Copies of this chain bind each other. A is one copy, B any other.
Amino acid sequence: MANESSAAYRRSPCPVACALDILGDKWTLLVVRDLMLGRSRFKEFMDSLEGIPTNILTDRLVRLERHGAVEKRPVPSGVRRHTYHLTEKGEALRSVIRSLVDWGLDYEEGTEAGLEPSV
């Protein structure tokens, strides 16, 4: 795990491959989407339509934080509660999300843009 964020972990120096080493699965970019929609609490991510399993959500938030795309902030009134927020590196994924939104809307029948008003 210690090497996962280092060059030693990488499959190649290709920026697409390096991006997919972090983002390449069915769930990570959905968490990023939720963060872009203003969701910040663990339960809010759980409540998304896709029904992300708890253990996968925990893993993806840890991974995004370890790679500097998400930061965790304590909730002042909460005991051991946190909210999650995109860093500049995470915000920079907006064009990736937008491209996926456009592609889905253009080519996958039955997709609905209305669900993602602010991405």
Q: Which residues of A contact B (CB under 8 A)?
A: 7, 10-27, 29-30, 33, 48-51, 68, 89, 92-93, 95-113, 115-116, 119
Contact = CB atoms under 8 A, between A and B. Distances in A.
A111 B15 contact: yes
B104 A18 contact: yes
A119 B16 CA distance: 10
A96 B93 contact: no
* Chain A interface helix/strand/loop/mixed: helix
Contact of A14 (B7, B33, B89, B106): B33
Contact of A96 (B24, B103, B105, B115): B103
A49 B7 CA distance: 14
A30 B17 contact: yes
A34 to B, nearest CB: 10
A102 B97 contact: no
A49 B104 contact: no
B100 A16 contact: yes
